Structure 1
Amino acid sequence: MRYAGRPLTADYLAESLRWTYDRTADALAYAWDRPDLGGPYALRRAAPHHFTPSPRNDVLTDQQMDWVHPADHAPAWRTPHRPPGSRRPHRHDVALGLFDAIEAHPWLASQLTAQLSHHPTGPVTTRIFEAIGRQVHALDAPASSWLTATTALMHYILGAAGQNAANLVRARDLGPEADRSAYMDTVAGAWKRLSPEDYPFTRAVADQGLNHDDRVQFLAGIDLIIAGVTAQPPTLQ
């Protein structure tokens, strides 16, 4: 329903899903009674016999509303908030805006990724592409690299932010007594016990310790990609 672009009837849904009408009607009734099941969306009746998903104001921030359903909300994220006197690069603001939103709502990563995959011409995909692409353009990188650089940054931001959010969910599942440092030390210890012939690099990284600040590491990845974008190709003699 999210990608249909228009409200749908129960008859149309039943035919599309190859379900019986009764099964479709029961599913719609259940979704109507349980709006929490739809993540950022709740079922809304657009006409007496037409249904459509609607973004939930009770779980989405203003910024998330603009990402998930920009047509229903003002484009607040085009000018990311910057603390007074901040010297942080604008590209970090855009990336951290997505990072923080996905950290607060882990389901957002899959929603945005689905938009990129299934609706590349839609407003969500194009606004994310535009916001990140403007930062690439500001680097004075060659125009021939814009598409590759922007796409690489998009996939890195959503992938790394999504992985971070998944890690936080798993940490919460371990209980309130879980200690991040102790967990990372346990992982490092397991890596150190790997075969030195088969895993020399992994063991070397474990020797350095795995504890880190997730946001600092995330921004370091952004800067690593940017360094590649702005690197001057070698001059052929």
Structure 2
Amino acid sequence: MDKPTVIKVEHVSMKFNLSSEKFDSFKEYVIKSIKKQVSFDEFWALKDVSFEIFKGDSLGLIGLNGSGKSTMLKTIAGVLKPTKGSVEVQGTVAPLIELGAGFDMDLTARENVFLNGALLGYPREEMENYYEDIVEFSELKDFMNVPVKNFSSGMVSRLAFAIATIGTPDILIVDEVLSVGDFLFQQKCEERIRNMMKNGTTILFVSHSIDQVRSLCNKIVWLEHGQVRMFGDAAEICDQYSQL
């Protein structure tokens, strides 16, 4: 039986307008904007990108900095709307795109668990059931009543990953999160991702570690200057990418 399509990206392009001049203050920018004295340069972060992902696939996005990987993930997550083209997503999405996004740094870790859960669409009662698992996985039991602003980036990463991977979302989006923290916790995260894949979760994964991508992914989109250079089998594309 054919697997159902979970993500369909068709001819997606994303344009940003970048100011071509510097301003000494926000007031100066506003005044010149009103007078229409601000000039912009067009920057196409994505150019005519198309690919299709099926249920249970694990897709790695690779490419040099500025190739469009994070922009593509944000477009799939619904954070950005493409300038051209369309993105169809079937099912629930758990995005881990920006470290600590959705956290209120003045609140404690415990308070942020329920805040983040609400942003992901989970009712408080359900988050109560998941709470102990989140604490145990993140290994932050002694810090749950500490404001997140006092956490290291590694601690924020642990908490964010533990929350995003509760239950079995249809799609998990992971952008460079596993690059933060110690090696043992990275292995723990990889194991959880593999278990989610076994349960049918589709993974979108960005990492500068080609070994991590090779280990976790069965398909790859290789982006170069916002365009698809290659799309297909992970092992084959990783071999070519490693030769650069």
TM-score of the superposed pair, with normalisation by structure 2? 0.27
Higher strand share: 2
TM-score of the superposed pair, with normalisation by structure 1? 0.27
Structure possessing the higher radius of gyration over alpha carbons: 1
- Looking at both structures, which has the greater relative contact order when contacts are Cα pairs under 8 Å and sequence separation is at least 6? 2
